[in-house]
Amino acid sequence: MLNSIFHRLNVSRLGKVGFSTTSIYNQPKTAVLMLNMGGPETTDEVHDYLLRIMTDRDMIQLPVQGKLGPWIAQRRTPEVQKKYKEIGGGSPILKWTNTQGELMCKELDKISPETGPHKHYVGFRYVRPFTEDTLSEIERDKPERVVIFSQYPQYSCATSGSSFNSIYDHYKKNKLPSNIKFSVIDRWATHPLLVKVFAERIKAELIKFPEDKRKDVVLLFSAHSLPLKAVNRGDAYPSEVGASVEMVMKELVYSNPHCLAWQSKVGPLPWLEPATDDALKGYVKRGHKNFILVPIAFVNEHIETLHELDIEYCDELAKEIGVEQIKRAAAPNDHPIFIQALADVVATHLKSNKLINPKFLIRCPLCVNPRCSESKGWYKHICQSAI
**DSSP result, 361-378:** HSPPTT---HHHHHHHHH
CA distance 169 to 375: 8
Look at residue 12 and tell me whether its pLDDT is greater than 60.
no
Q: Supply the mean pLDDT for the chain.
A: 92
CA atoms within 13 A on the CB side of 184: 28
70 preceded by a cis bond (ω within 30 of 0): no
Closest-CA residue to 279 (of 297, 261, 256): 261
**Of residues 56, 109, 186, 344, which has the active-site annotation?**
344
**Mean pLDDT (whole number) for 182-198:** 98
167 has a pLDDT exceeding 80: yes
Give the rounded percent of residues in the chain with a pLDDT score beyond 90: 88
Q: Report residue 5's pLDDT band, with 50, 70 and 90 as the boundaries.
A: very low
Q: What is the C-alpha to C-alpha distance for residues 372 and 58, in angstroms, rounded to an integer?
A: 9
Tell me whether residue 7 is one of the annotated catalytic residues: no
Per-residue pLDDT tens digits for 281-338? 999 999 999 999 999 999 999 999 999 999 999 999 999 999 999 999 999 999 999 9
β-pairing, 325-328 vs 290-295, is parallel
pLDDT at residue 97 is higher than 70? yes
Domains annotated for the chain, with CATH where assigned, are: 2-39+91-187+353-386 (3.40.50.1400), 43-86 (no CATH), 192-328 (3.40.50.1400)
Ordered strands of the 290-295 beta sheet: 258-263, 218-224, 290-295, 325-328
Give the list of residues 6+ apart from residue 189 with CB closer than 8 angstroms, or none: 153, 154, 155, 240, 241, 243, 244
Confidence class for position 267, pLDDT limits 50, 70, 90: confident
Span 198-227, mean pLDDT? 98
Identify the pLDDT of residue 6: 34
SS3 368: coil
Closest-CA residue to 159 (of 168, 167, 150): 150
Residues of the chain above pLDDT 70, percent: 93
Q: What is the pLDDT of residue 19?
A: 44
pLDDT-based confidence at 52, cuts 50/70/90? very high
271 backbone dihedrals φ, ψ, rounded to 5°: -125, 175
Q: Which of 244, 339, 341, 251 is nearest to 294 (CA)?
A: 244
How far apart are the C-alpha atoms of 227 and 239, rounded to whole Å? 14
Tell me: the pLDDT tens digits for 219-256? 999 999 999 999 999 999 999 999 999 999 999 999 99
Q: Which candidate in 47, 118, 170, 191 is catalytic?
A: 191
d(CA 299, CA 126): 18
Residue 343 banded pLDDT, cuts 50, 70, 90? very high
What pLDDT, on a 0 to 100 scale, did the predictor assign at position 347? Answer: 98
For the segment 98-129, what is each residue's pLDDT rounded down to a tens digit? 999 999 999 999 999 999 999 999 999 999 99
- Give φ, ψ of 36 to 5 degrees: -160, 170
54-88 residue pLDDT tens? 999 989 888 888 999 999 999 999 999 999 999 99
The question of whether 344 is a catalytic residue gets the answer yes
**Mean pLDDT of the region 158-181:** 96
d(CA 198, CA 244): 9
Cα angle: 369, vertex 360, 145; to 5 degrees: 120
